Structure 1
Amino acid sequence: MINVRYPAERKEAILKKMAPPMSMTIPELAEQEGITATTLYNWRKQARARGQVLPSRSTKPDHWTSQEKFQIVLETAPMNEAELSAYCREHGLYPEQVEAWRDACMNANEGAAAQAKQHRQARKAEQKRLRKLERELHRKDKALAETAALLALSKKAEAIWGTTNDEDD
């Protein structure tokens, strides 16, 4: 296996082809550039670790992963309208898409809050049910102990005085 070093400029140019708006797939780039797909996958992984947005599965931005969309939202957050428009043109996006992703990020925890409230209510109901069952168990334990004591007393009384059937004979 030959270890080939590529100039940083070439590497960046190829990574740019992976990014929107070109969004070329790795197999396409491997064939076009004569670089192994494994090398390109490693470059993409390293670029993503640095925070670059390099979509993998689809050239359509609506099919990007949540992390890729979130990265775009983070990159565009401090931008004004003109800067956002320029960014979107450069990356093959629509400002409406970025706005929708921003809204989704902003509202991501609303469902979690409702779910947490529902979980708390369910937990409270379970605790109430558990206390009720524990009271019932305690009551039944007392009744069982009382019955056991009465049975023991009746056996002692029988042993002392005999059964009532013995007197009738």
Structure 2
Amino acid sequence: MSVFSQEFKVQSVEKALSRRPEQSLKQIAVTLGVGYSTLQKWIRLAKKNQLEKTESNMSKEKSPQDWNTVERFEAIVHCHHLTDDQASAYCREQGIYLHHLNTWKAEFLSESKSTESVYKQAQTKLKQENKRLHKELNRKEKALSETAALLVLSKKCQAIWGKRRPINRLLRSPTLQRTH
């Protein structure tokens, strides 16, 4: 049997009484991790003013849904090395339950796995792009070296045979003219 702090009971009753119209009392009970009949009992006691209300603690405590990511992570780290009983006691002090910690831990792990897969996909895409760019660079380097080689050869040819004559001059030369 779970033992709930007085502050948690008051907070649960206030949450149940201030719930949105679309939320049922059963949903609130499941969210809080208490039985439906237990929550109803607390509400009845509160209406009869038999459930002690401590205003100072109510303003400080918050529901598990109100915890931000940093606070959730700190709670997970704090309870990591504790036994189940010690972790449950810590959770009761904080106004949460052990299943909240387990849920938050699972969320952190699933988020890290999803980010890992996104990073792997991005890394694969970058590797493919890098490979394509290297291939293109090699092709352009080969074309450039071929052009440079042709330029060097043309200069050597000019040095050996002299300046090239235009093709029209060659056709006019007597040795290349045909006789009809």
Indicate the residue corresponding to 1:142 in structure 2: 145
- Alignment partner for residue 22 of structure 1, among 40, 58, 70? 58
TM-score (norm 1): 0.50
> Root-mean-square deviation (CA), in Å?
3.3
Partners of 2:95 and 2:82 lie apart in 1 by: 17
1:66 counterpart letter in structure 2 = T
Indicate the residue corresponding to 1:67 in structure 2: 70
Higher radius of gyration, 1 or 2: 2
Query: Following superposition of structure 1 onto structure 2, how do residues 13-162 of structure 1 map, counting pairs within 5 Å?
Result: 22-24=58-60, 59-149=62-152, 152=155, 159=163, 162=165
Query: In the comparison of the two structures, how many residue pairs are matched?
Result: 115
Partners of 1:142 and 1:135 lie apart in 2 by: 10
Partners of 2:66 and 2:132 lie apart in 1 by: 45
Once the two structures are TM-superposed, the CA of residue 79 in structure 1 deviates from its matched residue by 3.7
1:64 counterpart letter in structure 2 = W
Deviations 1:82-103 (A, max 9, x none): 4444333322213321111122
Residues 99 and 83 of structure 1, relative CA distance in 2, 3 Å threshold = same
Deviations 1:117-142 (A, max 9, x none): 32442342133113202211112102
Deviations 1:15-53 (A, max 9, x none): xxxxxx6353xxxxxxxxxxxxxxxxxxxxxxxxxxxxx
Q: Secondary structure at the match of 1:159?
A: coil
1:89 counterpart letter in structure 2 = R
TM-score (norm 2): 0.48
Q: Which runs of 5+ in 1 are unaligned?
A: 1-20, 25-54
- Does the 8 A contact of 2:63 with 2:96 survive in 1? no
Residues 159 and 68 of structure 1, relative CA distance in 2, 3 Å threshold = same
Partners of 1:73 and 1:164 lie apart in 2 by: 87
Residues 158 and 96 of structure 1, relative CA distance in 2, 3 Å threshold = same
Q: Which runs of 5+ in 2 are unaligned?
A: 1-56, 174-180
- Identity of counterpart residues, as a percentage? 23
Q: Secondary structure at the match of 2:58?
A: coil
